[in-house]
Amino acid sequence: MKRTSSLITEAFIRLRSTSPIRSAAASPFKVDPATRKSVFFLAGRSMDSAVRAPESGGSGVKTPHQKIELLQDFLKEGPGGWEKTWEAGNTPWDLGEATPIVVHLSETGSLPKGRALVPGCGSGYDVVAMACPDRHVVGLDLSKTSIERSKKMFSSMPNSKYFSFLAEDFFTWKPPEQFDLIFDYTFLTAFPPEMRPSWAKRVEQLLKPGGELITLMFPLDDRDGGPPYSISVSDYKKILIPLGFEVASIEDNKLAVRPRKGVEKLGRWKKPFFVQSTL
């Protein structure tokens, strides 16, 4: 297991130094380091400097605020709007690497074994970071563009036989079996608050009795509008507890990326064995 983890770490290092995501020459899905700074807007931090927007059909300079407006315009079009954000390279939530807490949990053996699901997986870094001989991870995303990109980026990883990427709708997809682990990071908060009960019900359906839901709760603030839409710990409890979920732990994410420190918590929830799924 340690050798596999070492190989994955080495491959990530090579990938980060050679991947087109790190290239300064922006294409429809290439994100240069300057653009990557736009993740600051997800923590409600303002940035005065303009960033390069890797849009198809042009290379205009856009401020983070303009990128937010473009994102919101896309999402007004419904589910197809997510596809357009990836086609235009307007994905400021993408860290360009695996989430630090995910890497930590994987390397310390703190994740359940078996089958894992990452809905709204985006570029798929977290999917690859979690995948190992004891855990097959499915990365799910509505965007075909992001899924195809992930497949190309990670097909040569040493643990590639332990993960897969699918372009499917989380709310209607019918997997052949349930999961031991579901990991959610800014997937729930990408939806308007009125959709949260539907998310919780779907999670309950997809998770095995005794399975675990891990939520990186963000953004825990009082911002207006979205995405991401503001959320609270009590909001999670309100939709999960009635379905039988039990709180295993809720704590500050000490490994949160700098812009998100203080507005992000790590929640771990258990689905009791006696809860009957409707999947």
C-alpha closest to that of 257 among 63, 136, 73, 101: 101
User: Would you state the pLDDT for residue 188?
Assistant: 95
Task: Say if residues 243 and 200 touch (Cβ distance below 8 Å).
Answer: yes
User: Would you state the pLDDT for residue 14?
Assistant: 47
Helices 196-206, 233-240: inter-axial angle, 10-degree rounding: 60
| Tokens 């630090």 belong to residue | 100
218-229 per-residue burial string, b: 16 or more CB within 10 A, e: under 16: bbbeeeeebbbb
Cα 106 to chain centroid, rounded? 16
CA distances from 195 to 23, 189, 201, 215, 238 (A): 37, 10, 10, 16, 13
* Architecture of the domain spanning 100-270: 3-Layer(aba) Sandwich (3.40)
Alpha-carbon span 17 to 15, nearest angstrom: 5
Alpha-carbon span 114 to 107, nearest angstrom: 16
CA distances from 156 to 15, 129, 150 (A): 10, 14, 11
Alpha-carbon span 228 to 101, nearest angstrom: 20
Residue 9, judged by CB atoms within 10 A of its CB (0-12, 13-18, 19+), counts as middle
- Residue ranges covered by each domain of the chain: 14-87, 100-270
Alpha-carbon span 84 to 12, nearest angstrom: 27
Question: What is the pairing mode between strands 207-217 and 246-252?
Answer: unpaired
**pTM for the structure as a whole:** 0.74
Low-confidence ranges of the chain (pLDDT < 70): 1-81, 86, 90-93, 225-226, 275-279
Amino acid at 19: S
Alpha-carbon span 89 to 27, nearest angstrom: 8
User: Would you state the pLDDT for residue 274?
Assistant: 76
